[in-house]
Amino acid sequence: MKKPTPLPTDVDPQGFLVADAYASGVPRWRLQTSELVTPSRGIRLARANEHDLELLGRLHTAVTPRCAVSHVTAALLWSIPLPIYLEAEGASGMIHVTRRQEIGRVKRRGVIGHRAPLLARDVRVLNGVHLTSPEWTWVDLARQMGRGSLVAAGDALLARDNPLSSIDAIQEVIDRRPKVKGIRMAREILPLLRAGVDSPQESRLRVKIVDAGLPEPAVTQPIFDDHGRYMSTPDLQYKEYKIAMEYEGDHHRSDPVQWGRDIERDDRLRAKGWIVLRFSDVQMKGGWVNAERKLRDALTSRGWRRPSS
């Protein structure tokens, strides 16, 4: 085989459409060299980029007219948090692509095809990739995710900084898709979404608390002392009962400076009569019974009583 020659400057060596390469004068043999892979007909990628979802999404939506990357693939490109099993699906190299219902599913290697009544506003362009909107993507995910994970994904759309969507936008998509699989779950979960949540695990913790029959805690509300001086913004709190809850991710334990600040923060609150409860991945995965008891005992000690049914 001939020694590969450099591609023309108007052909991206990371990945390109075969039609564009031919239009630029690239000979057929050059597209068959070992440094390139063929994820699907009409597409070539540099071998090092064969699992690059953004590049794959850009090329698939370029080679197939009137379609959008969707489902798990779109969620990953929007940086919507997913459970581990869906992250693994996204890493498999398969791309979810949705076309309008009247056109028909995309049928090509490397693609999981879908049909849906997409409107122009349901498709966005992100870094050159046509993909379903965050709210449409969230509804697509409803059939594949449990309560806690779906709440975490929805909360991520309502992030404090640069939110991807809004409750009204999500509701509008739900109303337009009454028969899609998972719509009942989407309707059930929508009222549980909250803006301003800092991490998926905080969302999952809040859902566990509510599902345990305990009152819903407030999300990331600042606490001030009697003189109006800022003290802390716990992940979750019951202001009425002066109970603060913090979810400690791995970065809290691995960063000595952050760990020290956390200790000082909690000490300030306790000095003002607050109970501070800390949670980690241990409680979320296997120790929830004890964690729930700890929280219930704290609430009871501050005068909370379960409402009579």
User: Tell me: the pLDDT tens digits for 188-247?
Assistant: 999 999 998 989 999 999 999 999 999 999 998 999 988 888 888 899 999 999 999 999
In total, how many domains does the chain have?
Answer: 3
**Residue 20 pLDDT greater than 70, yes or no:** yes
Query: Which amino acid belongs to residue 134?
Result: P
pLDDT bin (cut points 50, 70, 90) of residue 3 is low
Query: Does some domain include residue 308?
Result: no
Q: Are residues 247 and 261 in the same domain?
A: yes
Q: Based on the domain organization, do 182 and 208 belong to the same domain?
A: no
Q: At 255, is the secondary structure helix, strand, or coil?
A: coil
| pLDDT-based confidence at residue 2 (cuts at 50, 70, 90) | low
Residue 70: HSE in the Cβ half-sphere, 13 Å Cα cutoff: 25
For residue range 96-142, list pLDDT tens digits in order: 999 987 777 888 888 999 999 999 999 999 999 999 999 999 999 99
Please give the backbone phi and psi of residue 280, each rounded to the nearest 5 degrees, phi first: -145, -175
Between CA 289 and CA 295, with CA 294 as vertex, the angle to 5 degrees is 100
pLDDT range class, residue 144, cuts 50, 70, 90: very high
User: Could you tell me if 84 and 210 lie in one domain?
Assistant: no
- Assess whether 205 and 185 both reside in one domain: no
pLDDT band at 260 (very low <50, low <70, confident <90, very high): confident
Q: What percentage of the chain exceeds 70 in pLDDT?
A: 96
Q: What is the pLDDT of residue 101?
A: 76
What is the domain extent for residue 138? 54-192
pTM of the model: 0.88
Residue 255, pLDDT score: 65
In which band, very low, low, confident or very high, does the pLDDT at 303 lie, cut at 50, 70 and 90? very high
58 and 182 fall within a common domain: yes
Q: Do residues 192 and 207 touch, judged by C-beta distance below 8 A?
A: yes
Helix or strand run (H / E) with residue 124: strand 123-126
Residues 118, 100: contact at Cβ < 8 Å?
yes
Is 76 within 8 Å of 90 (Cβ atoms)? yes
CB atoms closer than 10 angstroms to residue 82: 22
The per-residue pLDDT for 104 is: 78
Contact between residue 39 and residue 109 where contact means Cβ atoms under 8 Å apart: yes
